[in-house]
A and B are shown apart, each in its own frame.
Chain A
Amino acid sequence: MAKGIELLEKLCQAFGPTSCEYDVADVICEQLEGKYDEHTVDFIGDHVFRIKGKTDKKLMLSAHMDEVGLMISGIDEHGYLHFQPVGGFDVKVLCGRKLFVGNYGKEKISGLIASKAIHQQSAEERGKATPIDKMYIDIGATSKEDAEKYVEVGDYAVFDSDFVKFGDGMIKGKAVDDRLGCAILCDVIDYIHENKIVPDFDLYFCFTVREEVGRSGALVTANRIQPDMALVLEATAVGDIADTPDHKRVADTGKGPTVSFMDNGTAYLPEMVDFAMGLGEKHNIPCQLKRYVSGGNDAGHIHKSSGGVKTIAVSCPTRYIHSASCVFNSADYDSMYRLARQTALCPVDETPVK
């Protein structure tokens, strides 16, 4: 099993909803201490670690630090918290979940999402997903005043979910999207550092903020670096679950990372798709084409930033994405790490940038 999994556990357990990624960045900074040539943080919180290359061609490797979460929008007289989603949620995954409620620099307290018990539901309400405005967070407070000792409007909540290994190499946790990409970036930096490699590309490892809402972190970072090529590391929905017909499945868990040819934000250049798939083939790394056109990621902003960037997105197939229990296969993590490493260390003239 890749050693990065230990780091991934730490990253997944960190509290980092959109625009509040500080705890995640702290874990990354600690991990990477002394392993880079240059470290910059921009005004919205993107962290960029540079490892100088032999050439001036810039390769941006990027993963986002934020996770989907909730924002506290009100506290009622009984001490219950009302909330709004931050990022895309299926409301059905929320009911009954354990949460951490808090903010940067504050102690995180436990809470859970409650809604009306089945006994109290009307015939109309039964069997239906409870809408978000009828759900509330219970932090055990007895009154508004009591709740306000711990929480204020504008604080966040994220899932409280264990990182669990199960089955044959399967792993379950929260925030796999996209702490998995962050862990892989750290692994690649570790490898370069331990082996004292000077890469051909000038490498910019970018840990971006705010992907789940508007992707502004990647936009700012790409415009600042103005790279020649970009690799986006992501987690993607899979759809290899019961009752999804074959042609609507996005990918298969266990068959390696996906390479995207198109999603809602990007029509990837064919030379970039061929480059990524070809690199996999050359180094015997299992890869698969992402088969269904859906979703989007930081590539959407990166490829059309500044004068245009040749961009590819590589993603780990992840079941039940954007829920408390994202599930992925550690073999896919391993393959994705190897593909990212090979991309980072690829000679410039063997890439579409030459």
Chain B
Amino acid sequence: MINDLKAIMNVPGAPSREALIADKLSEMIKPYVDEVNKDPLGNVIAVKHGKAKEKQKIMFCAHMDEIGFIVTYIQDNGLVRVTSAGYIDYIAASNCRVRFENGTVGVLCPEGKTEPKDLKADKFYIDLGVKTKKEAERRVKIGMTGAVVPSCVKLAGKRYAGRPFDDRVGCYILVEAAKKVKAPANDIYFVFSVQEEVGCRGSRTASFNVRPDIGIAVDVTPSGDVVGTGTNLCVKLGDGAAIKVKDNSVMCDQKLVASLHELAKKKNIPYQTEVLTYGGTDASSMQTVAGGSRAGGISIPIRFCHTPNEIIDMTDVEACVDLVAAVCEEKDI
């Protein structure tokens, strides 16, 4: 189980560079669905047809892209300048190893004597271990992307630390749910979206192509059970699948929220309510594209999101798999 998740986390995929992870996920989900398609921006759309007479289209969306860096300039001494692709916490990323899409590894270093408050993209460079621009250009080029080296280590119990759980754990949940569901009631669209980290762009075109009746984002949500979050976050790590009510990008469909609560209760799936005071998800674009859809989210609690050591609890992940599968099998949502 965890090995499948690790395999998904290990494939690079910065925003707009999701081709490799798209291939990986297509291959993983293919045996369990009726068809797998790709749209012009690279979204993977896997369909499992339902058996009910009057069917709805239910779209689950987990994003494939991870936050990363993009090369902007190579200096004469071979040091590489980058900028962010998605929101990077530069204090957390300082002096971490970065892997580029072709496998080249370097270290992300802040310019000397930079105050912590000044740690921004333009104060950083990547040291590839080379001495000249020429040597660097043999390894990376302008426009190439990278990300902090992926990792996943076990902590106590069923908790794991590493990256990128955001949102490869959501992708993993969709694959596991597709395996579990034998005969869905409605038409189910499992979508692995691109470019969420730069503004939920991929899910826009995917929703246009799918035209769902119901859109459910499966993404991580920050848990409030750590020191000094500064805001009132109600989600707790290990307390089960988080059913989204709102974040900064979406007010979820209240009937859908109620249905998800009822379903979780009925099936004895541990769940909690998510009211997020910031952030955004693909639910926002599913809700408003074309004629719109009833949108919501099933979220995985996460600590230290967007850092090299995000922490998740596999009991939450299992609950999310069960809840997604339960939605697929339920006719009236």
**Which A positions have Cβ atoms within 8 angstroms of B?**
228, 246-248, 261-262, 267-270, 273, 289, 291-293, 303-310
Within the assembled complex, what's the spacing in Å between the Cα atoms of A292 and B206? 29
On whether the beta carbons of B42 and A269 are closer than 8 Å, the reply is yes
On whether the beta carbons of A289 and B143 are closer than 8 Å, the reply is yes
Q: A261-B142, A273-B143, A308-B205 are in contact. Are A267 and B43 (CB under 8 A)?
A: no
A247-B73, A247-B75, A307-B40 in contact; A267/B208 too (CB < 8 A)?
Answer: no
> What CA separation (Å) do A27 and B268 show in the bound complex?
69
Contact (Cβ within 8 A) A308 B209: yes
Shortest Cβ gap from B280 to chain A (Å): 15
The CA of A248 and the CA of B125, in the complex, are separated in Å by: 13
Given A247-B72, A261-B143, A262-B85: A228 in contact with B40 (beta carbons within 8 A): yes
Among all A-B residue pairs, the 7 with the closest Cβ atoms: A308-B205, A267-B16, A261-B143, A308-B40, A308-B41, A247-B73, A247-B81
Q: Please report the C-alpha to C-alpha distance between residue A248 and residue B19 in the assembled complex, in whole angstroms.
A: 29
Residues in B with CB closer than 8 Å to A305 are 205
Cα–Cα, bound, A298→B30 (Å)? 36
Answer yes or no: B99 CB below 8 A from chain A CBs: no
**B70 on the interface (CB 8 Å rule)?**
yes
Q: Which residues of A contact B281 (CB under 8 A)?
A: none
Complex interface: chain A residues within 8 A of B205 (CB): 304-308
Closest B residue to A353 by CB, please name it. B40
Q: Are B83 and A293 neighbours in the complex by a CB distance under 8 Å? A: yes
B238 at the interface (CB under 8 A from A): no
Is B122 among interface residues, defined by CB-CB distance under 8 A? yes
Which chain A residue lies CB-closest to B84? A293
Tell yes or no: B204 within 8 A of A by CB. Answer: yes
Is B261 interfacial (CB 8 A cutoff)? Answer: no
Contact assessment for B39 and A308 in the assembled complex, using a CB-CB cutoff below 8 Å = yes
Count chain A CB atoms within 10 A of each CB in B16, B142, B198 and give the residue with the most. B16
A267-B195 contact given A262-B70, A293-B70, A308-B205, CB 8 Å threshold: yes
B294 at the interface (CB under 8 A from A): no
Q: Which one of A268, A292, A307 has the highest number of Cβ atoms from chain B below 10 Å of its Cβ?
A: A307
Whether A304 pairs with B142 at a CB distance below 8 angstroms is no
Residues of B with C-beta under 8 A to A310? 40-41
In the complex, which residues of chain A have a beta carbon less than 8 angstroms from the beta carbon of B48? none
Mask: chain B, 193-210; 1 = CB below 8 Å from A; 0 = not? 001001001101110110
With A291-B73, A307-B208, A308-B205 in contact, is A262–B40 under 8 Å at CB? Answer: no
Cα separation A289 to B122 with both chains bound (whole Å): 18
At the interface, yes or no: B308 with Cβ under 8 Å from chain A?
no
The CA-CA distance from A291 to B143 in the complex, in Å, is 8
Sample of 14 A–B contacts (CB below 8 Å): A246-B73, A247-B75, A262-B83, A262-B143, A267-B15, A267-B195, A267-B198, A273-B143, A292-B73, A292-B83, A304-B205, A305-B205, A308-B41, A309-B40
Structural contact, B142 and A289, CB atoms closer than 8 A: yes
For the complex, would chain A's binding face be called helix, strand, loop or mixed by DSSP majority?
A: loop
Which listed residue (B72, B81, B198, B208) contacts A306, Cβ 8 A? B208
Q: Does B17 contact A (CB under 8 A)?
A: yes
What CA separation (Å) do A203 and B39 show in the bound complex? 22
Min C-beta distance of B61 to chain A, whole Å:
14
A261-B70 contact given A267-B16, A307-B205, CB 8 Å threshold: yes
* Cα A217 to Cα B89 with chains together (Å): 35
Contact across chains for A270 and B40 when beta carbons are under 8 A apart: no
Given contacts A248-B122, A270-B16, A289-B143, contact A304 B198 (CB under 8 A): no
Chain A residue numbers with a CB within 8 Å of B198 are 267
Which residues of B have CB within 8 Å of A228? 40
Specify the chain B residue showing the minimal Cβ separation from A273: B143
- A270 in contact with B17 (CB, 8 Å): yes
Shortest distance in angstroms between B110's beta carbon and chain A's nearest beta carbon? 14
Nearest residue (CB) in B for A262 is B70
Docked-complex contact B42 and A304, CB < 8 angstroms = no
Determine the distance from Cα of A247 to Cα of B17 in the docked complex, in whole angstroms: 23
Point out which of B42, B72, B75, B198 has the most chain A C-beta atoms below 10 A from its C-beta.
Answer: B72
Q: Closest Cβ of chain A: how far from B59's Cβ, in Å?
A: 14
Residues of A within 8 A of B41 (CB): 269, 303-304, 308, 310
- Alpha-carbon distance A307/B81, docked complex (angstroms): 34
Q: Which residues of A contact B208 (CB under 8 A)?
A: 306-308
B150 to chain A minimum Cβ distance, whole angstroms, is 20
> A303 to B70, alpha carbons, bound, how many Å?
20
Bound together, the chains give a CA A28 to CA B96 distance in angstroms of 53
Nearest chain A residue, comparing its CB with the CB of B16: A267
* Contact assessment for A291 and B40 in the assembled complex, using a CB-CB cutoff below 8 Å: no
B72 touches A291 (CB 8 A): yes
Q: How far is the CA of A292 from the CA of B85 in the complex (A)?
A: 12
| A291 CB contacts on chain B under 8 angstroms | 72-73, 142
Is A293 a contact partner of B72 (Cβ separation < 8 A)? yes
Q: Which residues of chain A are within 8 angstroms of B40 by Cβ–Cβ distance?
A: 228, 307-310
Closest Cβ neighbor of A310 among chain B residues: B40
How many angstroms from the CA of A292 to the CA of B82 in the assembled complex? 9
A309 to B195, CA, bound (A): 14
Q: In the complex, what residue of chain A is closest to B207 when comparing beta carbons?
A: A307
The residue that B72 contacts in the complex, of A292, A307, A308, with Cβ under 8 A, is A292
Q: How far is the CA of A253 from the CA of B43 in the complex (A)?
A: 37
Q: Which residue of B lies closest to A260 (CB)?
A: B143
Task: Considering the complex, give the chain B residue whose CB is closest to the CB of A303.
Answer: B41
Cα A21 to Cα B122 in complex, Å, equals: 37
Tell me, rounded to whole Å, the shortest Cβ–Cβ distance linking B38 to chain A: 10
Chain A nearest CB from B207 CB (Å) reads 9
| Shortest CB distance B88–A (Å) | 13
Q: Are A262 and B16 in contact (CB under 8 A)?
A: yes
A299 CA to B204 CA in the complex, in Å? 15
Interface string of B123-167 (1 = CB under 8 A from A): 000000000000000000011000000000000000000000000
Apart from A246-B73, A267-B198, A292-B73: 14 A-B pairs, beta carbons within 8 A: A247-B73, A261-B70, A262-B143, A267-B16, A267-B201, A289-B142, A291-B142, A307-B205, A307-B208, A308-B39, A308-B41, A308-B206, A309-B40, A310-B41
| Closest A residue to B200 using CB positions | A304
